[in-house]
Amino acid sequence: MSYHIYYDKQFVSLPEAGKVIPMICGGDNNCYEATGGGSRRTRDFYVATYYLPKGEFAATPDEIVAAVQARVDDEMAKCDTDEYRKKEGTTREMVAANYGWYVALSMGGGGCGGVSVKKFLGFFKSGIENARTIEEFAAAGVRLAFTCYDHSYYHGTTYSVPKPRKAEINTEADFWKEKAKWEAWAAECVITLKDKGFEAKTVKPHLYLNFDEHDDKRLSRIFLAMPKANNPDPPKKEKVKVEVGQYYVLANPNGYLVKYTSRGFRYGYDATGYSNKRFETEKAAEAYRLNLVKKGRHMAGEWKVMRVDGKATFLREAA
């Protein structure tokens, strides 16, 4: 089965325009390239233009998320319109859990299994949240570059108008200026292609936007090492200790919950035991209990919220 693989991503932020360039590192599973010690599946960073307005290289975050959601919705709709899926009893829940199988998409190269709708949507949402500016890339020595599709496999390739010279893109203003230059050239230019034994044909230029550095491994290392100066972590809120005269625990016929482990749970025999899991409010204890039930944890349905009269200390966010 042929499928596409998303290996990595690094979206580019254009804050002045309020737009984002969705740059993805991907490739097909059945295409290989030679490496120093053998071969591997081909991959490269490219703009996911099929989630953008036609002919554009960037869009607003809302436009990108809407386009991604629209693709999901189209796939979901096939459960009602596609005769094969209706015959097989394919449900929307099945598509949501195994989205990769239905659209031939893998994330990370481990096959199409495990790519849910949630993971697919999260890929783009996290890309938008962690987008970097052109200025940040330039500071790290990485730049965007416009190119035209390479017709070098033809013996005779001529351009009615010479290709523009690439200029360094160091700022958002540089990007828009370079984009306008290449698009003006593409609108005017006609490419003539001629191969031995075939009639000449003409085509219009097809523009691409990539990182000027094509080594995806090196790019990924650079991206990981880039500082978070323009996307600082939110300041941590100060917490203060508060002493209360009553609190809540979870109890079952065995005792009082201490904590859950990979093999079950630990419990104590004393309701006031220091190691028991304590909750400041009944609401918090009930929410935790319901979450255990939702996750199907061992004997989760047997826990009951119980109030304990006694002193306990909790951390609260400072006012």
Does this model's pTM top 0.85? My answer is no
Query: Can you give the pLDDT at residue 153?
Result: 67
Query: Can you give the pLDDT at residue 215?
Result: 87
- The answer to whether 169 and 178 have CB atoms below 8 angstroms apart is yes
Query: Can you give the pLDDT at residue 108?
Result: 85
Beta-carbon contacts of residue 126 (< 8 Å; ≥ 6 apart): none
Query: Can you give the pLDDT at residue 6?
Result: 95
Query: Can you give the pLDDT at residue 233?
Result: 55
Residue-level pLDDT, tens digit, the chain, 319 residues? 789 999 999 999 999 999 999 999 999 999 998 877 778 889 999 999 999 998 899 999 999 999 999 999 999 999 999 999 988 899 999 999 999 999 999 998 778 888 999 999 999 999 999 999 999 999 999 999 999 987 766 668 899 999 999 899 999 999 999 999 999 999 999 999 888 667 888 999 999 999 998 888 899 899 988 876 555 555 667 889 999 999 999 999 999 999 998 888 999 999 999 999 999 999 999 999 999 999 889 999 999 999 999 999 999 887 6
**Strand extents, DSSP E, the chain:** 4-9, 12-14, 19-21, 23-28, 32-35, 38-41, 44-47, 105-107, 132-133, 144-148, 156-159, 191-194, 201-203, 207-211, 239-252, 255-261, 264-268, 304-317
Q: How far apart (Å, rounded) are the C-alpha atoms in residues 252 and 245?
A: 23
> What phi-psi label fits residue 215: left (phi over 0), alpha (psi between -120 and 50 degrees) or beta?
beta
Among all chains, which residue has been given the structure tokens 């990485």?
A: 142
Q: List C-alpha distances in Å: 143 to 46, 128, 174, 175, 209.
A: 13, 19, 11, 10, 11
Strand pairing category for 23-28 and 19-21: unpaired
